[in-house]
Amino acid sequence: MKIIRSVRQMQSHCRILAANGKSIALVPTMGFLHEGHLSLIRKAGKLCDRVITSIFVNPTQFAANEDFSRYPRDEKSDLAKIKKAGGDVVFIPKAKDIYPDNFQTFVDVQKLTRTLEGNVRPGHFLAVATIVAKLFNITRPDVAIFGMKDYQQAIVLKQMTSDLNYPIRFVIAPTVREKDGLAMSSRNSYFTTEQRKEAVCLYRALRRAKVMASENISDLNAIRTDMERVIKSICPTAEIDYIAFTDFESLEPLMTIRKNCICSLAVRLFNVRLIDNMKLL
């Protein structure tokens, strides 16, 4: 497995791979890898000749009051996991190389970023789209793979890929969950053992919404109220940022449950902010 830290070396390596007829899959990450990330790497290995995993904690996508400085990092463990999962190349750039002095160009995907996470975290998707566009330019992948847990992010980046005519097959892989249903996330490591037990409230609330939808309950206010009840019954101190029902493709808000409805939510538990989602119909 090859480790590359230089942008120019990464570009050169990818040009050589392409010249030799090798297809490239890119799995962008911020490190501190869990089984969700590793499932993407394994999937990428089935789709392309070479798998590049990037590790970069992107400073521009964290607001001043967010957890950039304490975001978990463990490069040694990440490298061992990537190798075991079948990764071929790991790209670990430095922030000063990604954002050199006088950097001033950003990618703005407009409509899809004005709701849900984009409404709560202004500027977040501007930073996400920009770093991913840069990674695409550096690695020139044939396939890019993202997880369903960060659903809005995936839809935004899929739109960017199409709008900017990147010749990339965009793949959204299913969310990988713990045995109790909690979506795997690097931020889960923030919880104590007891706090972790209450984090399952997001999944339980989503499951409740899906059951209600299957029972032909279409009143979104009734479903949202029941979801809030489930969350608070498991974690009384939880703070709900939003519970939203949108169209699976357009992210347009829905007035009632219908086909292609996805429920997304963001909840703060013990000063840790988690997101999750589930397609209801």
Distance CA 276, CA 263 (A): 9
Distance from C-alpha of 9 to C-alpha of 3, rounded to nearest angstrom: 10
Average pLDDT over residues 196-213: 98
Q: What would the pLDDT profile of 48-93 be if each residue is shown by its tens digit?
A: 999 999 999 999 999 998 999 999 999 999 999 999 999 999 999 9
13 an active-site residue?
Answer: no
**Which residue among the candidates 13, 34, 37, 124 is catalytic per the annotation?**
37
Kindly state the average pLDDT of the residues 198-221. 97
Mean pLDDT of 201-227: 97
- Nearest Cα to 247, choosing from 256, 260, 257, 265? 260
pLDDT at 233: 98
Report the candidate in 238, 245, 265 with the shortest Cα–Cα distance to residue 120.
265
Is this prediction's pTM over 0.85? yes
- The pLDDT of residue 239 is 98
Residue ranges and CATH numbers for the domains of the chain are 2-173 (3.40.50.620), 186-276 (3.30.1300.10)
Paired with 146 in beta bridges are 172
Mean pLDDT for the chain?
97
Task: Kindly tell me the number of DSSP H helices and DSSP E strands found in the chain.
Answer: 10, 9
pLDDT at 166: 98
pLDDT in the model for residue 168: 98
pLDDT above 90 as % of the chain: 99
Contact 148, 277 (CB under 8 A): yes
User: What are the pLDDT digits (tens) for 148-199?
Assistant: 999 999 999 999 999 999 999 999 999 999 999 999 999 999 999 999 999 9
Which backbone phi and psi does 247 adopt, to 5 degrees? -70, 140
Per-residue pLDDT, 171: 98
User: What pLDDT is recorded for position 14?
Assistant: 98
End-to-end CA distance of the chain: 42
Q: pLDDT value at position 151?
A: 96
Give backbone dihedrals phi and psi of 258, rounded to 5 degrees, phi first.
-150, 180
The pLDDT tens digits for 32-58 are 999 999 999 999 999 999 999 999 999
pLDDT recorded at residue 224: 98
102: tokens are 């006088």
Residue 225 confidence (pLDDT): 98
Neighbour count for residue 100 (Cβ, 10 Å): 9
Check residue 266 and give its pLDDT.
Answer: 98
d(CA 7, CA 13): 10
- Cβ atoms 217, 223 nearer than 8 A: yes
Per-residue model confidence as pLDDT tens digits over 228-278 = 999 999 999 999 999 999 999 999 999 999 999 999 999 999 999 999 999
